[in-house]
């Protein structure tokens, strides 16, 4: 199952990759990344969904402890990442697709902008034609139901490769991971049910950390276009 | 303005048309639309001017697609009128079969308006609009001021919201509206909201005289405006 597989492979790989990237040069790689083999069993289903949203979180307040471990995601502040607290604003749009051979989910195209206001750091991820603009690597993703049973979550930038973000306009590049949960699908939007999580290595920003899965202070997250 | 950038994605038009014609056209009909806009600052005063900056506008969205646009600036200074830094604007929107909407965020840090008349460590405007089967609605949750101070009026400490459309007189200058909210739509099939966190209206008094104890009032004339933190969103089905 998708959730079990991520649980088995996610945390360790996250630690290795994020910590490794923290020690590397921030210049983006131009090589094509190999496709990781996350899946020990049959490949998981990949709903060809589209996700869009934006708003604000204020960690550590409004912590979504129930949903955070959904899909095998590691608990906050694990993998050697410190808390990333305070005002965070964001906007994103990702279109998912499935690898025809493995069934593995990847991002066909997308944009993700995240601003951590106390540190005055802005990250931007841009994905076109199935690869990250800043390192030419495939950005893998996963969609799974959350533990609360209220909806679904998407994780963009699975462990081993994560994804590469540009830091501010010219401060280099670093590995990041994004998660968003749509917990009021088709219902009246409630900021306190949708949630977002951001993890950054800090190799270029000096602002590495983990927000933990956090209910939105304002804004909305919508999974749309799912068959 | 430094470090300005903008990005957007939208699905190929033919895919949107195909989806609309086959599966979801009854819900995601031709009238369905979303809109979004965000900017950190706007200055139009006798002291100087600066357009919407940095400006993020949601590109057209069709079918069951979504899009995101963002823009950033490291600093802005219109001498005597406004200085600010860490300027960020984001907007995104989506059309879906069960829900469509848009959400926008604009922020500005180290805000100094009219040589210290109004200051804030940071201002965040945050709005969302959504339309579902049961209706359409918008809100400005997450819109706050951090350590806002208005000379001669008062201050608020920490990160706090302010009641919508709080109007404060600025003697000799004009007035300011904090958390100015401008709704639109019918709440059934459409909803929209614009929030301007700080909107200074500059005014001058012309005319008005007193002769032999008989006074005639002058006329207040708008001479400019300054906006910090503006976010708009809208959704229609």
DSSP assignment of B100-143 equals EEEEEEEEEEEEEETTTTEEEEEEEEEEEEEEETTEEEEE-TT-
Query: How near does any CA of chain A get to the CA of B117, in Å?
Result: 24
pLDDT at position A188: 66
Instruction: Kindly state whether residue B148 falls inside one of the protein's structural domains.
Output: yes
What is the domain count for chain A?
Answer: 1
Higher-pLDDT residue of B208 and B60 is B60
Beta-bridged to residue B7, according to DSSP, are B70
pLDDT at position B144: 98
pLDDT over 80 (residue A40): no
Q: Which of B119-123, B127-131, B211-215, B224-228 has the lowest mean pLDDT?
A: B211-215
User: What ipTM does the predicted assembly reach?
Assistant: 0.85
* Percent of chain A scoring above 90 in pLDDT: 64
Provide the domain limits for residue A132. Answer: 2-24+47-224
Window B:64-93, CB contacts with A under 8 Å: 64-70, 72, 74, 86, 88, 90-93
Q: Which of A9-23, A87-101, B80-94, B169-183 has the lowest mean pLDDT?
A: A9-23
pLDDT at position A42: 38
Instruction: Give chain B positions within 8 Å (CB) of A217.
Output: 126, 141-142
pLDDT at position A97: 93
Contact B103 A91 (CB under 8 A): yes
The average pLDDT across B64-80 equals: 96
Q: Which of A47-51, A122-126, A207-211, B36-40 has the lowest mean pLDDT?
A: A47-51
pLDDT in tens, B211-236: 888 888 888 899 999 999 999 999 99
Instruction: Kindly state whether residue A67 falls inside one of the protein's structural domains.
Output: yes
Provide the domain limits for residue B188. Answer: 13-22+31-236
The average pLDDT across A142-167 equals: 92
Instruction: Kindly state whether residue B135 falls inside one of the protein's structural domains.
Output: yes
The average pLDDT across B109-115 equals: 98
pLDDT at position A213: 98
Nearest CB partner across the interface for A219, out of B3, B66, B103: B103
Contact B9 A95 (CB under 8 A): yes
Instruction: Kindly state whether residue B1 falls inside one of the protein's structural domains.
Output: no
Identify the CA nearest to A141 among candidates A193, A103, A114, A91: A103
What is the domain count for chain B?
Answer: 1
Instruction: Give chain A positions within 8 Å (CB) of B122.
Output: 87, 117
Q: What's the rounded Cα separation, in Å, for the pair B139 and A219?
A: 8
Q: Residue A87's pLDDT band (boundaries 50, 70, 90)?
A: very high
Among the residues of A65-184, which ranges form H helices?
Answer: none
Instruction: Kindly state whether residue B4 falls inside one of the protein's structural domains.
Output: no
Angle at B226 between CA B221 and CA B232, to 5 degrees: 115
Q: Which of A186-200, B158-172, B194-208 has the lowest mean pLDDT?
A: A186-200
Q: What's the rounded Cα separation, in Å, for the pair B84 and A61?
A: 27
């Amino acid at each position: 199952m998708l959730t079990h597989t991520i649980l088995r492979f996610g945390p360790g790989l996250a630690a290795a990759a994020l910590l490794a990237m923290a020690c590397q040069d921030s210049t983006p790689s131009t090589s094509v990344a190999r496709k990781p083999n996350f899946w020990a069993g049959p490949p998981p289903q990949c709903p060809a969904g589209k996700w869009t949203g934006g708003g604000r979180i204020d960690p550590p307040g409004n912590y979504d402890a129930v949903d955070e471990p959904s899909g095998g995601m590691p608990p906050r502040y694990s993998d050697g990442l410190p808390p990333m607290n305070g005002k965070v604003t964001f906007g994103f749009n990702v279109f998912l697709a499935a690898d025809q051979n493995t069934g593995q989910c990847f991002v066909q195209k997308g944009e993700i902008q995240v601003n951590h206001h106390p540190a005055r750091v802005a990250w931007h991820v841009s994905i076109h034609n199935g690869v990250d603009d800043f390192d030419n690597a495939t950005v893998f993703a996963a969609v799974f139901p959350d533990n609360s049973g209220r909806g679904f979550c998407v994780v963009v930038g699975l462990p081993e490769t994560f994804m590469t973000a540009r830091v501010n306009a010219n401060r280099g590049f670093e590995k990041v991971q994004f998660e968003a949960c749509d917990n009021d699908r088709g219902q009246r939007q409630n900021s306190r049910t949708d949630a977002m999580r951001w993890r950054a290595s800090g190799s270029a920003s000096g602002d590495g950390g983990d927000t933990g899965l956090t209910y939105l202070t304002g804004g909305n997250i919508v999974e749309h276009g799912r068959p | 303005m430094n470090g300005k950038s903008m990005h957007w994605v939208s699905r190929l038009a033919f895919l949107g048309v195909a989806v609309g014609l086959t599966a979801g056209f009854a819900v995601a009909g031709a009238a369905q639309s979303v809109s979004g806009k965000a900017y950190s600052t706007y200055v139009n005063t006798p002291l100087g001017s600066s357009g919407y900056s940095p400006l993020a506008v949601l590109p057209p969205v069709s079918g069951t697609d979504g899009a995101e646009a963002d823009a950033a600036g490291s600093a802005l200074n219109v001498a005597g009128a406004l200085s600010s830094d860490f300027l960020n604007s984001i907007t995104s929107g989506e059309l879906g079969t069960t829900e469509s909407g848009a959400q926008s965020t604009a922020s500005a840090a180290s805000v100094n308006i009219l040589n210290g008349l109004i200051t804030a460590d940071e201002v965040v405007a945050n709005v969302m609009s959504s339309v579902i089967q049961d209706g359409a609605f918008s809100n400005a949750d997450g819109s706050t001021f951090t350590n806002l101070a208005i000379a001669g009026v008062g201050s608020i400490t920490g990160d706090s919201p302010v009641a919508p459309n709080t109007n404060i007189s600025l003697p000799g200058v004009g007035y300011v509206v904090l958390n100015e909210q401008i709704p639109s739509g019918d709440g059934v099939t459409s909803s929209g909201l614009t929030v301007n966190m700080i909107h200074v209206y500059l005014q001058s008094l012309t005319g008005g005289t007193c002769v032999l104890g008989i006074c005639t009032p002058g006329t207040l004339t708008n001479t400019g405006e300054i906006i910090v933190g503006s976010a708009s969103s809208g959704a229609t089905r």
